[in-house]
Structure formats: C-alpha cells, structure tokens
Amino acid sequence: MSVPPSPDEPTTSPDPSPGGAGEDASMLDEIVRTRREKVAQLRAAGIEPYPLRFRPTHTVPQIRAAYPDLAPGTETGDEVTVAGRLVGKREMGRLRFLVLREDGEDLQLFCPLAALDDASRELLDHLDVGDWVGATGEVMTSKKGELSVKPAQLTLLGKGLRPLPKWHGLSDTEIRFRQRELDLVVNVDARRVFEIRTATLAALRAEMQERGYVEVETPMLHPIPGGATAKPFVTHHNALGVDLFLRIAPELYLKRLIAGGMRRVFEINRNFRNEGMSPRHNPEFTMLESYAAYDDYHDMMELTESLVRRAALDAVGTTELTYEGRELSLAPPFRRVTLIELAREATGRDDLSYDLDVAELRTLCDTHGVGYDDAWGPGKLIVELYEELVEGALWEPTFVLDHPVETSPLARGHRTDPDVTERFELIVAGRELANAFSELIDPVVQRERFEAQARARAAGDEEAMVVDEAYLRAMELGMPPTGGLGVGVDRLVMFLADVSNIRDVILFPTLRPERP
C-alpha cells in the first residue's frame, strides 16, 4: 500500500545520496543531526537503539497468509511477535498507526496508547520512518478491515539516521543502482525482479541436476586469458610475483574435467570482460556453462530449449511473455537457420559465401555501411554483415547455426561444410542469449587454432586467445565427443522480468566512480 509522508519529516524529499547541494544538503544534515540526538536520548533513557538480537514468532508474509479473511473489528486473541522496517506512521488522538514492511509486504500496527507499556509509549516519540521495529501483541482487524497487530510492547531494533525517499518511490536510476538497499526498500518492482532472478537460478540448477550434470567450481583467477575472445582484466599476485587474469570464461577448465572422465558438468558463476558498458553489457556478469560427453550441438539445442522453458515456467509461470511492449514466446521449438542464409537475405546476395574474395566482401560491407578491420578474413567480414544487418531484428528465439572457423576457435569443424563450425548462437529479441558448440576435441587442430589466435593477438587483437598448453595437454590424454553450452543468466532474467537494462537485474552493477 502507499504510505503517506511521516508528519515529523519534511514534505519535500531530500537527496538520499551522500552529499547533495544547497538546501537539500542542509535539510539532510538537519535530519541526520536530529536523529543522532534521538539516539543519545534513547540511551540516556536506558533504551539501546541497536540491540543484539530479537526473536519474531512470525514474519509479516506469514501473518498475512494465516489471516486472509478476518472480518472488520475482529479480535483473534492470538499473540504474535513481528518485526520489520517502519515505512509509515500517523496519529489520531490517543491512537498511533505504524506500518511495518518485511519481505516486500506491509502490516499495520494498531497502537492505542493505553494498551502499550510505559517504555513503548516513550519509544513512540523517538521512532522515525526507516527505523527497524519489533512488536508483540494480538492479531486483529481495524473497523475498516485492515489486518493489524495491536502491540502491548514495541522494541527498537535499529535506528535509521538517514531518511527514506518519500512514499511516491525512488525514480533516480543512478541512486537506484548505486544504493540498491534503498531501491529494495521503496521500489516493489526491484524486489520482484530479484525474486524472478532467484527463481531462474533455481530452475536452471534443477534442470541441469535432473539431467545428471554435476555442478562444479573452477578458478576465477587464470594464469592466461582463455575460453572466449574478449579483453581480460589483469591483476597481480604478490606472493607468486605473477600477473593473473579474471576469467573471461570457464570453458577450458570445464573441458579439462571432461578429459578427466567427468561425463556431465556445469557451473553457474561470474565472468569478467574488460569492455564497455551498455544496457546489455556489464563487465561482471553471470553465465551458466555446461559440457556433456558424447553430445553434439544438436543435443545442446534441445538442452537450451528445455532450460529456457523451465526457467520461464518456474520463474513467471508462463512461456508467453510481453517484452518491451511486444509479445515474445519462449515456447519450444525455436527457429533454426544458418548464419550464411541470414546474411544472404540481408545483403540480397544469393552467391554470398566464405569463398568470396576479401576485397569483394569489403566492398559489400562498404555498400551496407558496415565497418571492418583490414586484418579480417572472409569469415569475420560475413559475421560482421550478419551482426549489423540481421541480429538486432531477430525477435522470436532463433538458433543461428554454423559460424565460420575464423570466429570459432574452440568449435569443431562442421561434418559436411569445411568453411564453418558446428556452433550456434540463440538470439532472442535481438540479443545473444546462448552460445554452443560441438566441441573441438582434436588436439592437433586445436593447437593450430590457438597459434592462429596468438598471431592475431601479436598483430594487435587484444581479444584474441593465446596458446593454452595446460588445456592442450589435457586434450592429448584423449577427449570424447563433447557438446558445450553457455547461457547468459542476466539476459534471461531481463526477458522474464521485462526490463531493458542489465543493471536492473544485477544487484550491484558496475558504475562510474561516485562523485564526492
């Protein structure tokens, strides 16, 4: 419910962020000063404003669930102890009305002064919106039918020194992302989004475990960057005297486990890529990555469809969504089409192929306003044409199949077409949601691919891979046919929660340094 401003707070909303300017800063300073004085007064009266512990008997959601249909004016005789943040207070003669919020739900405290003990009556005058409060009393309903607790005793559990934003909520996105704790207090939708995220993670884990996958953890600190083409973050280990890299992907470690005889493995964890930020990109993001012996990329398509469907049903109860005001179905089966087919449609060139001369492909890029690097070969140029002209327009879930060897150094060559690999990307609403391969398991070919990547890196490509001798050594033990899959968890939650900015689904996204 909407809670009106507390009468002891200013009617304008001070800037809740640190600092501020002019009148807002002075107002905030005055509120903090007044509340600090209340802390001193409470302690002088023998009341500790930051007690050690408290034991509620019920949560606010439990009480609301246990008493859904009490008639107005009902007194149950049931005593409970509850706790939560004070988000509203008002008075009416010898009555005080407080509103506690816990786990996103509100409960009224109906407080006749005569029903409270002496300490609780004194405490009332020192309470402010934002304080944490406990209450022990009877479950009842007011004459208007509002479910309430009528306390005999109030306990201050934590004094808030800074004010909450006013009852109309917190709309400043900079403050919402930088002070997520404040966002969760005042914005119901923020809590909804992160409840969907929690349910999505649980659904993904359940689906993988039911399929016999074992969840593992692999290193975040890598001696060399690998597993994907991206620019890494670099750090330094003092004791070893070596530079280390925050992982850009767990792929090579997970596939070493397959080489070691673990048949099916998966990991849900963070990756780090030293790239720009946008509504679709955060330098720190969550991936589900998995590998299965004896499978290929066709099996990974079936797995991907099942994971997306399971997450949608478990997190929001349906596969039929509305995203950015447009209908979006996540119900399998998903469309399957090759990358070269999509590039041909977009360019109007039925003869487009990976055998075309680089000069001709550059001319085609110029015609369509697609930029390119002089070091790129035919495969990379065609991928750029596809990404610029096609990818953003793919709305319904689409498996884009058979990416060129040049852009897929860890994927197995296609069984019938030597120019491409058995790789797909799942595109949803113009965004890549998943990436998967029939994994390359030939160590000789893999070394050749790594060496080609290393030459590109030496030529200035900061995202290119290096030769990973530890992974090659594992491959040389022998690897079975393997299918691998990576799913972007943050983007999946974005679709399910219908939010357009990745920062809305990450509790504490990466931001520019806060101004003093």
Report the chain's mean pLDDT, rounded to a whole number: 92
Residue type, 283: P
Q: What is the 3-state secondary structure (H, E, C) of 132-160?
A: EEEEEEEEEECCCCCEEEEEEEEEEEECC
The pLDDT tens digits for 137-187 are 999 999 999 999 999 999 999 999 999 876 445 667 888 899 999 899 888
* Distance of alpha carbon 331 from alpha carbon 120, whole angstroms: 56
Q: Going by CATH, does the domain composed of 22-168 fall within 3.40.50.720? A: no
- The token duo for 7 is 């009468």
The answer, yes or no, to whether residue 323 has pLDDT greater than 90, is yes
Report helix, strand or coil for 164.
Answer: coil
The pLDDT tens digits for 458-512 are 888 888 888 999 999 999 999 999 999 999 999 999 999 999 999 999 999 999 8
The pLDDT tens digits for 372-388 are 999 899 999 999 999 99
- Domain edges within the chain: 22-168, 187-334+396-505
Q: How far is CA 258 from CA 218, 289, 347, in A?
A: 13, 13, 41
What pLDDT band is residue 8 in, cutting at 50, 70 and 90?
Answer: very low
* Distance of alpha carbon 467 from alpha carbon 478, whole angstroms: 18
Question: pTM (2 decimals)?
Answer: 0.89
The answer, yes or no, to whether residue 430 has pLDDT greater than 70, is yes
- Nearest to residue 156, comparing CAs of 129, 113, 123? 123
- Nearest to residue 400, comparing CAs of 350, 429, 435, 361? 435
Report the C-alpha dihedral over residues 469, 473, 476, 478, rounded to 10 degrees: -120
Q: Which residue has the tokens 């008002």?
A: 90
Q: How far is CA 433 from CA 287, 324, 427, 472, in A?
A: 10, 16, 6, 28
Considering the four listed CATH numbers 3.10.180.10, 3.30.1310.10, 3.30.930.10, 3.50.50.60, the one that applies to the domain covering 187-334+396-505 is 3.30.930.10
The answer, yes or no, to whether residue 447 has pLDDT greater than 80, is yes
Asked whether the beta carbons of 157 and 133 are under 8 A apart, the reply is: yes
- Nearest to residue 197, comparing CAs of 212, 211, 184, 215? 184
Q: Which residue has the tokens 């706790």?
A: 83
* Distance of alpha carbon 341 from alpha carbon 384, whole angstroms: 14
